[in-house]
Amino acid sequence: MLSYKDALSMDKKSIEAKVVELRRELFNWKMQKAASGFDKPHKIKEAKKSIARLLTALNGKGEKK
């Protein structure tokens, strides 16, 4: 799980890349869950929270300019 402090230390490009990566993983996990069951359902919740932290850090960086 990604912490908010880690997200703040990242630059804009890496935050955006990580958000895209996590959204892809989240989509795949949701499809697995719907199709046949998913062994680690807590990963879905962690991914959602990590995406939210990254987007919050990204919005905070935009306001400082």
Residue 65 is predicted with a pLDDT of 43
> Domain total for the chain?
1
- Checking 21-27 for CB contacts under 8 A at 24+ apart, the result is 22/47, 22/50, 22/51, 22/54, 23/51, 26/51
Per cent of the chain over pLDDT 70 is 95
SS3 of residue 59 by DSSP: helix
**Whether pLDDT at 8 is above 80:** yes
Residue 63 is predicted with a pLDDT of 61
First to last CA, the chain: 28
**Whether pLDDT at 35 is above 70:** yes
Contacts of 4 (CB under 8 A, 6+ apart): 53, 56, 57
**CATH number of the domain where residue 11 is located:** 1.10.287
Tell me the pLDDT tens digit for each residue of 15-31.
999 999 999 999 999 99
Global pTM value: 0.87
29: domain range?
4-63
